[in-house]
């Protein structure tokens, strides 16, 4: 801006000088003569004007250069912005993929770049399994291999290179088939093998490149190859970190799902199956055992087993004293057994079973809620020292979450039980009877089974209430419920259907078998003396029964027909068993 002001000032000065010199060249100013001063001013104006024009031209040239530079800079910024945008899109694409997909993309892209950089015919990446002495083929263009193929490598050149952690070019006699074990590289004249490590110690895998040119690669290529190896190592490390973080997030999400999925009426086995499904995803074990504490017997009942079941299974009971479970349940912290052979553990489930088991290490955690002992979980492995500090921490969190969810499940089931039990008699109420009847219909329908429904009504019960009062009536109903319950099998369902009416579901019983059970109930009631507060009574009952599915293939019809049979017994004078018969 200062240059422009200067040009304006010089320009105005020259214009004024020109006016004075050319417009008024009279004697009034210069004495009427063209003096030497006049000629000097003329020369000054000419030179000044020329200088001004030159300065303007120079400034225009500078402005033009600046404009070009600005245009170029703008173009570069646009290009950079475009590249960054594409980069962001790529990052977004990668972030939206799973760690496995990102891993695959990295390996595939890197091999393509290396194949182009080294003018290689074949390229491949193998993961190293040092424990088993195996190479896992992960990616590449070796035609006779498929992804996840395994190759023995302990007696091959690969083993030496992995150990030495130094890339190597092989050619000529070094391409002996025995050097490569099961791997067939065809007519390759040069092979470049580059080890890949995580950090400085942990071997991860190898990159393999082949060429048909015997002198294809030298020391400089080895250096470049090792740089690619470092790049891959860093990328794999980042993928590993992402995978671990993803795994941790998924672990906590699954535990939250378990909490949300624990609901009123959920079966215990269903709950423990969900626990097992979560554990197998995130915890390394060969056997997981969940046991629930029985305070009355001071024993543990095995509720769930995942993995090896030869030594213990669901439903087995074990003593708490002396074994590993006593240690597990006596503390809030995880109990870690790095080696059963060297730890001071008497037994796992039964005396001396440590001597015969193939399991060598384990971690156990108690299941507690509000300091109440619920049970415990133990994870066991066939490897010694299998569990790291991270594993132990994960198991501790797992145990606390499972304990909280299981405590809630038990509370739910107690509430459900209370809501399904008749408050007076202590047997199932009508709601529970309806659920059990539907369950039995579904089971029998699915598997082609049968069962019989028995409806029982107390004869002349209103007279008992009217004569002796409702307390005596309640006493009769309570005793009657016990008699009926004691007259049938444990698998059968006994419920108070309403008032003085009872219902019994006789599982897998046809009419003939049901009649035998019904007659036994009738006789036991008839022979019982109901005695309370100097009141002594004998009562009788009327019974009707119907068989599923021949007397009714749905809940409503079956109850209706059994009820009709019961009223037929009433019409006969009571103390009778009547079997429903189809009309016609």
Sheet-wide strand order for 134-140: 150-152, 134-140, 122-129, 202-211, 190-198, 168-171
Q: Is residue 32 part of a domain?
A: yes
| pLDDT given for residue 86 in this prediction | 47
| DSSP E strand boundaries for 354-414 | 361-369, 372-381
For residue 380, is pLDDT > 80?
yes
218: alpha, beta or left, given left = phi > 0 and alpha = psi -120 to 50?
A: beta
- Of residues 310 and 391, more confidence is placed in 391
Q: Is residue 190 part of a domain?
A: yes
Q: How many separate domains does the chain show?
A: 4
Rounded to whole angstroms, how far apart are CA atoms 105 and 31?
95
Coil vs helix vs strand at 315? coil
Verify that 452 and 493 share a domain, yes or no: yes
Lowest mean pLDDT among 121-125, 342-346, 522-526: 342-346
Q: How confident is the model at residue 55 (pLDDT cuts 50, 70, 90)?
A: low
| pLDDT given for residue 2 in this prediction | 45
| pLDDT given for residue 93 in this prediction | 44
Verify that 304 and 393 share a domain, yes or no: yes
Q: Is residue 371 part of a domain?
A: yes
Verify that 518 and 449 share a domain, yes or no: yes
For residue 1, is pLDDT > 50?
no
Verify that 168 and 230 share a domain, yes or no: yes
Verify that 203 and 141 share a domain, yes or no: yes
Tell me 354's DSSP state: G
Tokens 């479970």 locate to 325
Verify that 134 and 208 share a domain, yes or no: yes
Q: What is the CATH number of the domain that holds 301?
A: 3.30.450.40
Verify that 408 and 445 share a domain, yes or no: no
Among 344, 377, 339, 376, residue whose Cα is nearest residue 359: 339
For residue 10, is pLDDT > 80?
no
For residue 83, is pLDDT > 80?
no
Helices 461-468 and 470-487 cross at an angle (nearest 10°) of 140
For residue 418, is pLDDT > 70?
yes
Instruction: Give the domain extent around 517.
Output: 430-579
Q: What is the CATH number of the domain that holds 568?
A: 3.30.70.270
Q: Is residue 89 part of a domain?
A: no
Q: How confident is the model at residue 525 (pLDDT cuts 50, 70, 90)?
A: very high
Verify that 111 and 217 share a domain, yes or no: yes
Q: Is residue 158 part of a domain?
A: yes
Helices 219-261 and 99-117 cross at an angle (nearest 10°) of 170
pLDDT of 491-522, one tens digit each? 899 999 999 999 999 999 999 999 999 999 99
Lowest mean pLDDT among 96-105, 265-274, 452-461: 96-105
| pLDDT given for residue 51 in this prediction | 63
Average pLDDT over residues 58-79: 60
Verify that 399 and 281 share a domain, yes or no: yes
pLDDT > 90 in the chain, percent: 46
Peptide bond into 122 cis (omega under 30): no
Verify that 197 and 272 share a domain, yes or no: no
For residue 455, is pLDDT > 90?
yes
- Alpha-carbon dihedral of residues 268, 270, 273, 275, nearest 10 degrees? -60
Verify that 344 and 389 share a domain, yes or no: yes
Tell me 193's DSSP state: E
pLDDT of 267-294, one tens digit each? 899 999 999 999 999 999 999 999 999 9
Give the mean pLDDT of the chain: 84
| pLDDT given for residue 402 in this prediction | 94
Q: Is the dihedral of CA 307, 313, 315, 320 positive or negative?
A: negative
Q: Is residue 419 part of a domain?
A: no
């Amino acid at each position: 801006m200062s240059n422009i002001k200067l040009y304006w000032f010089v320009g105005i000065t020259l214009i004024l000088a020109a006016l004075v010199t050319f417009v008024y060249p009279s004697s009034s100013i210069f004495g009427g003569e063209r003096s030497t001063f006049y000629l000097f001013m003329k020369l000054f104006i000419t030179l000044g004007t020329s200088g001004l024009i030159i300065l303007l031209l120079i400034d225009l040239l500078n402005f033009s250069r600046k404009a070009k530079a600005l245009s170029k800079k703008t173009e570069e910024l646009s290009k950079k912005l475009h590249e960054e945008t594409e980069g962001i899109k790529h990052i977004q694409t990668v972030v939206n993929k799973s760690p496995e997909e990102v891993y695959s993309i990295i390996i595939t892209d890197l091999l393509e770049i290396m194949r182009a950089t080294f003018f290689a015919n074949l390229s491949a990446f193998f993961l190293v399994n040092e424990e088993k002495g195996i190479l896992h083929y992960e990616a590449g263009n070796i035609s006779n291999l498929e992804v996840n193929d395994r190759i023995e490598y302990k007696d091959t050149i690969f083993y030496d290179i992995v150990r030495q952690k130094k890339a190597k070019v092989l050619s000529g006699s070094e391409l002996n088939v025995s050097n490569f074990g099961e791997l067939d590289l065809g007519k390759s004249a040069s092979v470049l093998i580059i080890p890949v490590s995580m950090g400085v110690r942990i071997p991860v895998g190898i990159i393999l490149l082949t060429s048909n040119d015997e002198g294809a690669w030298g020391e400089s290529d080895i250096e470049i190859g090792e740089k690619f190896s470092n790049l891959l190592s860093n990328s794999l490390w980042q993928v590993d970190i992402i995978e671990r973080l993803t795994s941790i997030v998924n672990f906590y999400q699954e535990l939250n799902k378990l909490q949300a999925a624990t609901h009123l009426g959920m079966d215990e086995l269903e709950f423990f199956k969900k626990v097992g499904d979560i554990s197998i995803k995130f915890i390394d074990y060969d056997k997981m055992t969940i046991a629930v504490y029985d305070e009355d017997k001071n024993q543990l009942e095995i509720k769930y087993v995942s993995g090896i079941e030869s030594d213990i299974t669901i439903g087995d009971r074990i003593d708490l004293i002396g074994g590993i479970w006593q240690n597990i349940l006596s503390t809030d912290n995880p109990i870690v057994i790095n080696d059963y052979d060297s730890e001071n553990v008497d037994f796992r489930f039964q005396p001396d079973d440590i001597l015969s088991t193939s399991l060598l290490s384990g971690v156990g955690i108690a299941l507690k809620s509000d300091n109440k002992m619920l049970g415990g979980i133990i994870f066991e492995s066939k490897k010694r020292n299998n569990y790291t500090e991270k594993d132990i921490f994960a198991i501790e969190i797992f145990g606390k979450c499972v304990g909280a969810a299981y405590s809630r499940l038990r509370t739910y089931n107690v509430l459900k039980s209370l809501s399904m039990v008749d408050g007076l008699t202590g047997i199932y109420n009508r709601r529970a009877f309806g659920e059990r009847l539907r369950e039995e219909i579904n089971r029998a329908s699915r598997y082609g089974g049968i069962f019989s429904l028995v409806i029982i009504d107390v004869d002349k019960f209103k007279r008992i209430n009217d004569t002796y009062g409702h307390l005596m009536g309640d006493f009769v109903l309570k005793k009657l419920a016990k008699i009926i319950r004691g007259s049938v099998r444990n698998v059968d369902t006994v419920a108070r259907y309403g008032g003085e009416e009872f219902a019994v579901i006789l599982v897998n019983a046809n009419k003939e078998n049901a009649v035998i059970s019904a007659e036994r109930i009738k006789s036991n009631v008839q022979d019982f003396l109901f005695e309370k507060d100097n009141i002594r009574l004998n009562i009788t009952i009327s019974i009707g029964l119907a068989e599923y599915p021949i007397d009714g293939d749905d809940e409503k019809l079956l109850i209706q027909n059994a009820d009709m049979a019961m009223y037929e017994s009433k019409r006969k004078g009571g103390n009778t068993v009547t079997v429903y018969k189809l009309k016609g």
